[in-house]
Amino acid sequence: MKLYLTNIVCSILLAAILLTACKKENYPSRDTSGLKPPPPPPPPPPPDPKIVSFNPADALDNWETAGNKGAIEKPGAKEGLGWLKASIVSGEDYMHFIYRRPAALNAGLTKANGALKLWLYIGDISQIKADGQFELTSSGESDKNEYNWDLAPMLPNLKNGWNELTLSFSDAGESSGDGGPKLSAFNFFRLYLWTTGKTHADVALGLDDLRLVEK
């Protein structure tokens, strides 16, 4: 009888052990089939329009300023290693920036889609006279085979400090009698401007990152 009871107890214990061993553990489901897929990544940005450097204004090479006052400033550059700075000092009222490019530049642009883009620095816009002009030519000099843009209509939209300008070929004036510049051979740039008088604090002016771009 005692042996019989012992067998029963052993059977019950064995059944309990087997039941515990076979018990299914509950784990969080890893099935993501019911979830929405993540959204696709945004498309890449469209390619930049054609941009060809005319001059980065990082060095004085082939630049001329009135009175030879030009210098390369490093702090505050909008692009590259520096920017070209020259000031109209007290007692004077005129400044020009002239760049003669050693090799003519063909940016592959047309009058309809091309533009000259640049950064212009003006220390005190209130001192600038509503006169002056930007010029871009293929003749190696001013007033021949030229595009030009008057500064005066731009002044109301300019501010002290840096201004990025886009000068469209289609908005430019042209030198008379020669059909304007040869678009495959730009080699000369000039900006000239005045202050409203000669009695003023020094007015800092500057240029940086001259580019021919497809607008």
Residue 114 has pLDDT above 60, yes or no: yes
Residue 16 has pLDDT above 50, yes or no: no
- Rounded-to-integer distance, Cα 53 and Cα 182, Å: 17
Residue 35 has pLDDT above 70, yes or no: no
Higher pLDDT, 101 or 2: 101
Residue 44 has pLDDT above 60, yes or no: yes
| 8 Å CB contact between 207 and 134 | no
- Rounded-to-integer distance, Cα 92 and Cα 54, Å: 30
Residue 30 has pLDDT above 50, yes or no: yes
Hey, where are the domains in the chain?
51-214
Q: Convert the pLDDT of each residue in 85-96 to its tens digit.
A: 999 999 999 999
Look-up of token digits 């509950």? 26
Written as one letter, the residue type at 163 is: N
Residue 118 has pLDDT above 90, yes or no: yes
pLDDT, residue 6, reads: 47
| Token reading at 105 | 């530049």
Residue 24 has pLDDT above 60, yes or no: no
Burial class for 112, CB neighbours closer than 10 Å (0-12, 13-18, 19+): exposed
Residue 11, classed as helix, strand or coil, is helix
| 8 Å CB contact between 169 and 16 | no
Q: Report the phi/psi class of residue 186: left, alpha or beta, with left for phi > 0 and alpha for psi in -120 to 50.
A: beta
- Rounded-to-integer distance, Cα 167 and Cα 151, Å: 11
Closest listed residue to residue 132, CA positions, set 205, 214, 53: 205
pLDDT, residue 32, reads: 53
Higher pLDDT, 64 or 31: 64
pLDDT, residue 33, reads: 54
**CATH says 51-214 is which class?**
mainly beta
pLDDT, residue 13, reads: 46
Closest listed residue to residue 206, CA positions, set 104, 106, 70: 70
pLDDT, residue 28, reads: 54
pLDDT, residue 135, reads: 98
- Rounded-to-integer distance, Cα 201 and Cα 93, Å: 11
Residue 128 has pLDDT above 60, yes or no: yes
- Rounded-to-integer distance, Cα 56 and Cα 58, Å: 5
- Rounded-to-integer distance, Cα 58 and Cα 99, Å: 12
Q: How many CB atoms lie within 10 A of CB 141?
A: 14
Q: Convert the pLDDT of each residue in 148-196 to its tens digit.
A: 999 999 999 999 999 999 999 999 999 999 999 999 999 999 999 999 9
Residue 9 has pLDDT above 50, yes or no: no
Q: How confident is the model at residue 46 (pLDDT cuts 50, 70, 90)?
A: low
Q: How confident is the model at residue 47 (pLDDT cuts 50, 70, 90)?
A: low
Burial class for 193, CB neighbours closer than 10 Å (0-12, 13-18, 19+): buried
